[in-house]
Amino acid sequence: MKITQNKRLEPIDRVAITFIIFLGLVTCLLVWGNQVCATTEQCFLQVGPRVKNFSWSGKQIGAKDTAFILTFDRPMDEASVAQNLIINPPLPGKISWAGRRLAYTLAAPAPYGENYELRLRGAREKIRGKKELGKEIQPFSSKFSTRDRAFVYIGSQGEEEGRLVLYNLTEQRQKILTPDNLTVIDFNIYPQGDLILFSAVQSNKVNEGFANNQLYTVTTTDKGSKTGEIKLILDNKNYQNLKFALSPDGQTIILRRTNKKNPGKFGLWKLSENGKQEPLNNQSGGDFTIAPDSKTLALALGEGIAILSLEPNAEPIAFLPQYGRLVTFSQNGSLAAMVNYNRDNPELLYTQSLFLVRAGGGEEKLFSTNGSILDCKFNPTATILYCWLTQLVEETEEYREQPYFAAIDLQTKEILPLLVLPEYQDIKMSMARDGLGLLFEQVIADSATEDTSPERRIWLLIPPSTLSESDQPQLEQLPLVGFHPQWLP
């Protein structure tokens, strides 16, 4: 009797055994599907390896995007992937692996205004512990694009006068970003290119001077007819804002301010992303530039350059007494171009020397000139330094400085003059983040009409692809009247 009771099936036994049999059948079906689909090209089951994720799929990328990630659903044979990965048009770069993830780091920023296609077919699965390769990957294809080439300048004619103008070079379209009641003095672009920080005064108070400016941001969309969205960042109630700089990461603004009630109280202030304002409480100094690391500041101090922390009350990190001016940093911050005015060397007095200073220590003299070093910019890979320089022309009765554009090969230190300009005034350049070209303004003062303000023209200079005397740069005057052109990142 007891044995019969034990052998009697409970409801759970009946249901569980039935369900286990049913699941067994489903399992067999799936396993059979795996066998069948392994030999069939078109199959409803995805048996072979495949790309699970492509980080740039369908995206519009900018200069900040230096690498993409391809994630596979299983370990892949690295050589077959490297051999079959095609980007069209080609974007040279390096492949590195971390398990099932492939990282492709671009050798140089992708040229703007292009559509790209990434294709992968023919790569094979890696089988653990075996030399022979596994199944072939399911063909993968995806598209991405780079943002349009665009830059911003301050207009100086007609309805554009004193206003920020966005010019889309790819589509040859321009749009005024700021309202007509604000006259823009200076601006910096946020790293994503979606916002611009600018200083401006009310247009009806321009006569009161530019020191009463306030800081605003404006959005940069070039679609639609409306101006960008304006937001006041810093007013001028208690302080005059003399100069500002936006850190390359867009999180900090450094300002030189003076107290309106006590003009003797002036210095550098830090304005954080959360709106917190703090005085840096260090020596005031002259011109300043925030380094690409967004943590340090190069400040002209006396006859040298001080490297300061962006944290208030911090001790100076370094002082470089031999340099009188910081010209530019490379994009990754590993190099800086600095000018030595040679005041301590009687033989080189009245000459300027350009030095290449490495962040990790060490410096190299590139050249000395009896003219001037106006402005320099590194190319994105920091292999070439482009400079506007002047050459002293000694004519019969007067000295004249002849401006010219030169490329300096940082490997060989060879200087190649590429272009000569007849007229100039204080040339400032902006290098495109993809390295396409340099924007600069040319001020043409008409001596016959001294009362009128000088005409400001914007030029695009595309350096030659190779540094040789036979390869000449392309110089194009853009149909725009304005100044301070800056490429969107």
Partner 1 sequence: MSFFTLFFSLLVEAMPFLLLGVFLSSVLLLLIDEGKLIAKLPRNPILGAIIGSCFGFLFPVCECGNVPVARRLLLQGVPTSSAVGFLLAAPTINPIVIWSTWVAFPNQKEIVLLRILFSMAIAIIIGCVFSVQQNPQPLLQKMLSKRLRVPQQLEQKGIPTLLRGGTFILSGEGSPVAMTEIIPPTPRSKGMSLGGQFVSNIAQELRELGGMLVIGSAVAAFIQVFVPREIILSVAQGTIGSILAMMLLAALVSICSTVDSFFALSFASTFTTGSLLAFLVFGPIIDIKAIGLMLSIFRPRVILYLFALAAQLTFIFALGYSYFG
Query: Phi then psi for 157, rounded to 5 degrees?
Result: -150, 145
As beta bridge partners, residue 257 has 241, 267
CB 148 within 8 A of CB 122: no
Contact status: 2 vs partner 1 (CB under 8 A): no
Angle at alpha carbon of residue 366, lines to 362 and 368, rounded to 5°: 125
- Nearest CB to partner 1, comparing residues 46 and 425: 46
- The piece of 57-65, 129-137, 415-423, 446-454 that touches partner 1 (CB under 8 A) is 129-137
- The piece of 124-132, 166-174, 237-245, 267-275 that touches partner 1 (CB under 8 A) is 124-132
Minimum CB–partner distance for residue 2 and partner 1 (Å): 13
- Nearest CB to partner 1, comparing residues 45 and 349: 45
Minimum CB–partner distance for residue 234 and partner 1 (Å): 36
User: Which of 13, 303, 344, 455 lies at the binding interface for partner 1 (CB under 8 A)?
Assistant: 13
Residue ranges in 59-88 that form contacts with partner 1 under rule CB under 8 A: 73-75
Minimum CB–partner distance for residue 30 and partner 1 (Å): 5
Contact status: 400 vs partner 1 (CB under 8 A): no
- Nearest CB to partner 1, comparing residues 31 and 444: 31
- The piece of 18-26, 238-246, 287-295, 469-477 that touches partner 1 (CB under 8 A) is 18-26
CB count within 10 Å of CB 389 equals 24
Number of residues that bind partner 1 (CB under 8 A): 35
- Scan for tokens 């207009």, then name that residue: 155
User: Which of 34, 221, 259, 345 lies at the binding interface for partner 1 (CB under 8 A)?
Assistant: 34
- The piece of 130-138, 175-183, 199-207, 347-355 that touches partner 1 (CB under 8 A) is 130-138
- Nearest CB to partner 1, comparing residues 30 and 445: 30
**With the C-alpha atoms ordered 276, 279, 285, 290, is the resulting torsion angle positive or negative?**
negative
- The piece of 5-13, 388-396, 468-476, 477-485 that touches partner 1 (CB under 8 A) is 5-13
User: Which of 1, 3, 98, 232 lies at the binding interface for partner 1 (CB under 8 A)?
Assistant: 98
- Nearest CB to partner 1, comparing residues 75 and 333: 75
- The piece of 22-30, 352-360, 372-380, 383-391 that touches partner 1 (CB under 8 A) is 22-30
Omega cis (within 30) before 89? yes
- The piece of 8-16, 271-279, 288-296, 476-484 that touches partner 1 (CB under 8 A) is 8-16
User: Which of 30, 36, 67, 317 lies at the binding interface for partner 1 (CB under 8 A)?
Assistant: 30
Residue ranges in 36-55 that form contacts with partner 1 under rule CB under 8 A: 45-47, 52
User: Which of 26, 207, 263, 448 lies at the binding interface for partner 1 (CB under 8 A)?
Assistant: 26
Virtual torsion, Cα 111, 116, 121, 125, nearest 10 deg? 60
Contact status: 24 vs partner 1 (CB under 8 A): yes
Strand 373-378: give its sheet, edge to edge. Answer: 373-378, 384-394, 399-409, 415-420
User: Which of 7, 128, 131, 237 lies at the binding interface for partner 1 (CB under 8 A)?
Assistant: 128
Residue ranges in 261-320 that form contacts with partner 1 under rule CB under 8 A: none
- The piece of 127-135, 197-205, 351-359, 452-460 that touches partner 1 (CB under 8 A) is 127-135
- Nearest CB to partner 1, comparing residues 124 and 163: 124
Contact status: 16 vs partner 1 (CB under 8 A): yes
Contact status: 209 vs partner 1 (CB under 8 A): no
Residues that bind partner 1 (CB under 8 A): 10-17, 19-20, 23-24, 26-27, 30-31, 33-34, 45-47, 52, 73-75, 98-101, 127-130, 134-135
